[in-house]
Amino acid sequence: MPGAKLDPIDRKILAELQADGRMTNVELSRRVGISAPPCLRRVRALEEAGFIQGYHAAINARELGFEVQVFAMVGLTSQAEADLSAFETRCRSWPLVRECHMLNGEIDFILKCVAPDLSTFQTFLTEHLTSAPNVASVKTSLVIRCAKDEPAVPFDVYEARARARD
């Protein structure tokens, strides 16, 4: 089971870093209740094991002028693995595509896109996305407003499950 090898201190380290990735190791060690050297060793081990994939700043896209956010639902003509992988590779090369998720059901992929304005998104849509090889259909939905955006893991739910397993 994923996460089963994490002890309560490891889980606390992950929760604290998720809430504030900029804190010093000394502050982190104080919050989790261990000294700094073993705390740093644990953080490095969590990084090496892939539990921590990176540290990022949460940027306000609208403040930078990215006023448009769109979800694009993409249907492909072929779902062969080579075609799926080729589409994923193409998505990684498009700067306006910030997230790409393969789905099951009627839609093959959902893309989260950002753009400074509708004209820029329309150009991307017509010149790149809809004209890409293997793309059969694209349906878009413009985001009006965001009620919740929490990219982090809900550690309160995770901790409740972990306690139930212990």
Assigned domain for 67 exists: yes
Q: By C-alpha distance, which of 155, 161, 125 is closest to 140?
A: 125
Boundary-marking domain end, from 22, 38, 57: 57
pLDDT at 2 over 60: no
Q: Are residues 48 and 67 in the same domain?
A: no
Domain containing 6 equals 1-57
Token pair recorded at residue 122 = 């329309």
pLDDT digits (tens, 9 = 90+) for 59-108: 999 899 999 999 999 999 999 999 999 999 999 999 999 999 999 999 99
Does any domain span residue 165? no
99 token code pair: 């997230």
Contact (CB, 8 A) for 28 and 21: no
Do 106 and 133 have their domain in common? yes
Whether 148 maps to a domain, the answer reads no
How many C-beta neighbours within 10 Å does residue 70 have? 19
- Rounded to whole angstroms, the Cα distance separating 87 from 35 reads 47
Question: In the chain, how many domains are there?
Answer: 2
Residue 152 lies in a domain: no
pLDDT tens-digit readout, 103-137: 999 999 999 999 999 999 999 999 999 999 999 99
Does residue 157 belong to any structural domain of this protein?
no
Mean pLDDT value across residues 39-49 = 96
The reply to whether 53 and 73 lie within a common domain is no
- Residue 4 has a pLDDT of 57
Distances in whole angstroms, Cα of residue 144 to Cα of each of 48, 67, 99, 140, 147: 39, 10, 18, 13, 10
Q: Which residues pair with 104 in a beta bridge?
A: none
> Which residues neighbour 56 within 8 Å (Cβ) at sequence distance 6 or greater?
21
Number of H helices and E strands in the chain, helices first, is 6, 4
> Which pTM does this prediction carry?
0.83
Tell me: do 21 and 69 sit in the same domain. Answer: no
Confidence of residue 1 (pLDDT cuts 50, 70, 90): very low
